[in-house]
Amino acid sequence: MDGQPAIHGENEHVARAKVTADIVRSAADRIETGREVPADVHRALIDAGLFRLLLPRSIGGAEVDLPTFAEITMIMAKADASTAWCIGQGGGCAMSASFLEPAAAERLFGPRDAVLAWGAGVQGTAIEVPGGYRISGKWSFASGSRNATLLGAHCRVIGADGKPRLRPDGRPADRTALIPRAKARIDDVWQVVGLKGTGSDSYSAEDLFVATEDTIDREALEDVRVPGTLFRFPTIMIYAAAFGGVMLGISRGMLDDLTALASTKTARGAASSMRDSEMFHADLGRLEARWRALQSYHFGTFREIWGAVDAGGPLTLEQRVNARLACTHTVYEGCQIAVDGYRAAGATAVFETAPFERRMRDALAASQQVQGRPSHYATAGRHLLGLPLDTQMFV
């Protein structure tokens, strides 16, 4: 990538992420107070190719595997969780390019600064008209939208006859319209406790025409137009790998900060410094063991699934449930590790001048996202018992 050194002896994308993480770490305060990734930092992410990791090679993308993408979000989250979250979200959104006709994919995603952001859920309508759709609606939680060039509008499809279109299984049909950010109204609503720098604003459009070739059905993997193992995975599994990586990075950062603190702090009234305290030794050892186990579980699960699909096997329901369980547990347990690390730091943790309170707020905010919803444990439990799943949405 432009401005980046040649990398040898290590996955080049991981190596570039490590270099860029130093830039992000030095800007963490600006990211937090500005509630967005500032322009100079965003440019560094663009230069490192971190928003092109999951684009097809045919339009200059990297097509990295899922474990590598998760590792990159983990690396970046140690530096700043909000930036890592935007990279994870942007990567999942970039999968849209694989559904598009080649000319449309090149037009929308060919520019090196192309970034797509979108909000959660199908919250709009797309009325069929000659050549495309008229879309209207309002969407929320568009992480990274302040630096995006494109926005995605998830819409229920309404026929020209005024009747909702249905999928073959009877569910309402939906499509995602990809629109220039400039054509949407942006509402600054991101006043939150954690992940402040994601700038996850709301946006809306009213009766906006979008050509058919600029719309996709995210669920229809049969519509994917490019080869490659990556594009055999649904977007929801991309997010599972990425956001688990974010939580691993947040909790890893918390433990690294705690270890550094122990070298200098003696708790009030304590007989010895944290570094010399056997109680702290045991606490730190348990936290480290929990984190290493979680890292092995998350990455091991996605390596196994990727390897099976890359070898030509189908993506099975068993693998989908395994991915869902791994992500859910990584988000849940990673948050608990971060909270326990915060508590172990004592009164030092409450000060904004120390890194602990930001990491805890980011962990708690990340744990509230649907990828970490506790009900996913029940979905996995039903599968283990041979019962029909109570949802297909997140598997």
pLDDT mean over 239-268: 90
Total number of domains constituting the chain = 3
- Tell me, yes or no, whether 237 and 378 share the same domain: yes
DSSP secondary structure letter of residue 9: S
DSSP secondary structure letter of residue 265: -
For residue 8, pLDDT beyond 80: no
Q: What is the DSSP string of 40-97?
A: HHHHHHHHTTTTSTTS-GGGT-----HHHHHHHHHHHHHH-HHHHHHHHHHHHHHGGG
Distance CA 132, CA 208 (A): 10
Distance CA 81, CA 97 (A): 26
pLDDT tens digits, one per residue of 335-390: 999 999 999 998 888 988 889 999 999 999 999 998 888 999 999 999 999 999 87
pLDDT tens digits, one per residue of 75-96: 999 999 999 999 999 999 999 9
Residue 224 in domain: no
For residue 10, pLDDT beyond 90: no
What's the CATH number where 37 sits? 1.10.540.10
Among 109, 144, 164, residue at a domain's last position = 109
Specify the pLDDT at position 3.
Answer: 41
For residue 271, pLDDT beyond 60: no
- Whether 81 and 195 have beta carbons less than 8 Å apart is answered as yes
Among 109, 134, 161, residue at a domain's last position = 109
Specify the pLDDT at position 5.
Answer: 38
pLDDT band at 267 (very low <50, low <70, confident <90, very high): low
Residue 259 belongs to domain spanning: 233-384
Residue 210 in domain: yes
For residue 4, pLDDT beyond 50: no
Residue 1 in domain: no
